[in-house]
Chain A
Amino acid sequence: MNLRALLPFLLPALFLAQVGTPVFMIAQREKVLRRGEEFRFRVAPVDPYDAFRGRFVWIGGTSNRVTTADAATYARGERVYATVARGEDGFALFSAVSRRRPDGHDWIRTRVEHASGHYVAVDTTLHRFYMEESEAPAAEIAVRDAARRDATNRTAAVVVRVRNGMAVMTDLELDGRPIRTVLRERAAATP
């Protein structure tokens, strides 16, 4: 077989595969952003550093436990569907977990983090909120302060759109306002 003769076909195929992979990732997320249902998850971030992707806010403390009678039957790492719903305070929570698609609800496809006698903890898939490298640490501190001082009045939440098993973050909010607006106001207030 002469590879050179096939080059006019192989080269475009390779280019297409290399461009197509990220384009596919984009298309999936754009669909979720356009048609997905919006939810807000309460968060309590902490701080690491990822050299390859710049700074981000680490999303933690999101409630990921689902109380269910058959919790003991789930194994760590098992693929599951977690139903997303709104609680009484308006924030999102995982209301059910199952091995089959929960039709008629919003859900994400994820894995079991761990399971105990009466509850299943799922991977929220919401881990990193990327920001500009100068902003991320400030955002981290602002959100952590808010979570600590008086958690009843001030809340940090991540805004997420959910559709067909995928959750895409759109913003980080402090007391219902976008984090970048809050940071800009703080920067203006401190001389």
Chain B
Amino acid sequence: MSRAAREWLARELPDWVRKGLVTPDAAAELGRRYDLVDAGRPRNLAVVVIAVFGSLLVGLGVILLLAHNWADLPRGARLGIAFLPLLAAQGLAAFAVVTSRNGLAWREGVGTGWMLAVGACIALVAQVYHIPGDAGVFTLTWMLLSVPVVYLLRAVLPAAGVLAGLVFWAGHEQAFAGTAVGFWPLAALLAPFVRAQLRQEPASARTALLLWAVALAVLAALGITLERVTPGLWIVVYAGALALMSMAGEAMPFLSGFWRRPFASAGAVGTVILGLMLTFEWPWKEIGWHHLRRGGGHIAPAAVFDYAVAIALPLAAVARWGLSLVRRTGAVPLAFGASAVLATASFAVVGAAPGAEGIARIAYNVFVAALGGILAARGIRDRRLGEMNAGLLTIAVLVMLRFLDEDVSFVVRGLVFVGLGAALLTTNAVLARRLRREEAR
């Protein structure tokens, strides 16, 4: 039995006992049989949080102290001090590795402090010698020297830090050096770590944190690194990425809750927002290969990346969607996956026939409404208030947007808004009451 399944079982068992599905004796027997004692033991989260927060504070405090730039100290002394935090962090890390102290608090705490110390040391040396601030080179050096920290301590926070740093670097490069496609191979340096983390503890809060960092970094970097030579290509790229994300997230059915399923949540929220945007006219204006942009800082070879992701992402998403279709994975993954198909088709149609944007907008109005409906339906079926409300809210926002941008009288708008609000409140009240009644039974 895999560790993931054991963790899941360990979390579910108490609930089963409470609902009378299994007797306490049977639960205990199951626990022994599958060796759940270790998997189910609640990790001492407070200790980890305090360790990380503490080392963050110490690290930042030391940086501020050194940044004061004690002018009365000779250069040598100032340089020596700049190395102290780094050497201390290295010492702690070596101690942790040699003595096999691998508690979470140690690994995350030391890892966070260590990463900060690496950046601080370089920055302070730069200060002592008045080195002109090239934020791009500085960030890249810092991140490359921090990647091994992630692997050595198997720490999630430094990994999230590296991802954030690389996104910052990508933004800087795109603005000043022309292209930031280098982000992707650099970010891939963390891929083995993410994979290992997913395999070893798919249900842990740390993994969720890591996956949130990955999801947000990927979505941000996609926008930054696109060269935008072909206007409107972002629609296809983002739809593909978000669809893949939500389908991958939905494939972990043993997890539940918004924060626990980063890919499903980020993919769903992103797909809905993208869908709502595409019901407007502006994204469809002057897009496609008839409106290629040349010159003005656009680097044509870097656009190769655009085309690669614009082909690969929707293709992968459609393939994955087909798989869901065959395996009958349920309406929600199918609906979110369909976003990639719809976006690609719409882009092709509008690109070929610019007059067709009206059709694309109508299609997206229907699509977003359907997404909301399907999400709400699953929420009601599985008795999940949050999901039901997310679905209803999607529909409500869609209707409100339509009424705001069309020429409709205040009376009609007023009536529709009152109706929407009342519908939201009623469905919530009904479902909440039903949940309570079921629980009482």
Contacts and interface: CB of A to CB of B under 8 A. Distances in A.
B121 to A, nearest CB: 5
A22 B70 contact: no
A25 B131 contact: yes
A53 B123 contact: yes
B21 interface: no
B141 interface: yes
Interface string A3-24: 1000100110011011101100
A53 B152 contact: no
B90 A15 contact: yes
A14 B153 CA distance: 13
B202 to A, nearest CB: 22
A51 to B, nearest CB: 8
B86 A132 contact: no
Nearest to A51: B67
A25 B125 contact: yes
A64 to B, nearest CB: 13
A166 to B, nearest CB: 10
Contacts of B90: 15, 18-19
Interface string B74-85: 000001001100
A119 interface: no
Interface in B296-340: none
Contact of B122 (A3, A21, A132, A169): A21
A25 B71 contact: no
Interface in A118-133: 125-133
A11 B131 CA distance: 29
B69 A127 contact: no
B141 A21 contact: yes
B288 to A, nearest CB: 31
B67 A132 contact: no
Interface string B107-150: 00000000000100111111111111100000001000100110
B437 interface: no
For the residues of B in contact with A, the DSSP-based class is helix
B125 A128 contact: no
B97 interface: yes
B68 interface: yes
Nearest to A24: B125
B63 interface: yes
B205 interface: no
A168 B129 contact: yes
Interface in A83-140: 125-133, 135
B133 A50 contact: yes
B152 A14 contact: yes
Given A25-B125, A52-B63, A53-B127, A128 B71 contact: no
A132 to B, nearest CB: 5
Contacts of B129: 25-26, 29, 168-169
B94 interface: yes
A112 B218 CA distance: 33
Contacts of B79: 26
A163 interface: no
A54 B69 contact: yes
Nearest to A54: B67
A131 B69 contact: yes
**Best-surrounded residue of B67, B121, B130 (most CB of chain A within 10 A):** B130
Given A25-B126, A125-B132, A128-B132, A19 B71 contact: no
Given A7-B97, A21-B122, A168-B130, A52 B67 contact: yes
A144 interface: no
Contacts of B86: 18-19
B97 A26 contact: no
B33 to A, nearest CB: 31
Given A18-B86, A128-B130, A129-B130, A135 B123 contact: no
Contacts of B68: 54, 132-133
Contacts of A15: 90, 94
Interface of B: 63, 67-71, 79, 82-83, 86-87, 90, 94, 97, 118, 121-133, 141, 145, 148-149, 151-152
28 contacts: A3-B151, A14-B148, A14-B152, A17-B145, A18-B118, A18-B145, A19-B86, A19-B90, A21-B122, A25-B125, A26-B125, A26-B129, A52-B63, A52-B67, A53-B67, A53-B123, A53-B126, A54-B67, A54-B68, A54-B127, A125-B132, A126-B132, A128-B130, A130-B127, A131-B69, A132-B68, A133-B67, A169-B130
Q: Which 5 A-B pairs have the closest CB atoms?
A: A54-B67, A169-B130, A29-B129, A22-B125, A132-B71
Given A129-B130, A180-B71, 4 more contacts: A7-B97, A10-B152, A130-B69, A133-B67
